[in-house]
Amino acid sequence: MKWNEQFNINRVPSYEDIKQYIGEGEPLWSELLSNIEKAYQVKPKMTYSKCSAQPGWNLKYQKSGKSLCTLYPMEGFFIGLVVVGAKEVEQVEMELGTFTSYVQELYRKTSFSCGGRWLMIEVKDKSVINDMQSLIAIRVKPKR
93-119 pLDDT, tens digit each: 999 999 999 999 999 999 988 788 999
What gap in Å lies between CA 8 and CA 57, rounded to an integer? Answer: 8
According to DSSP, the residues that pair with 113 across neighbouring strands are 116
Helix (H) or strand (E) holding 3, with range, is helix 3-6
**What pLDDT is recorded for position 115?**
82
- Name the phi and psi angles at 113, rounded to 5: -155, 155
One CATH from 3.90.1150, 3.40.1350, 3.40.50, 3.30.1490 for 3-139: 3.90.1150
pTM of the model: 0.93
C-alpha–C-alpha distance, residues 96 and 46, integer Å = 30
pLDDT confidence tier of residue 42, bands split at 50, 70 and 90: very high
Q: How is the chain split into domains, by residue range?
A: 3-139
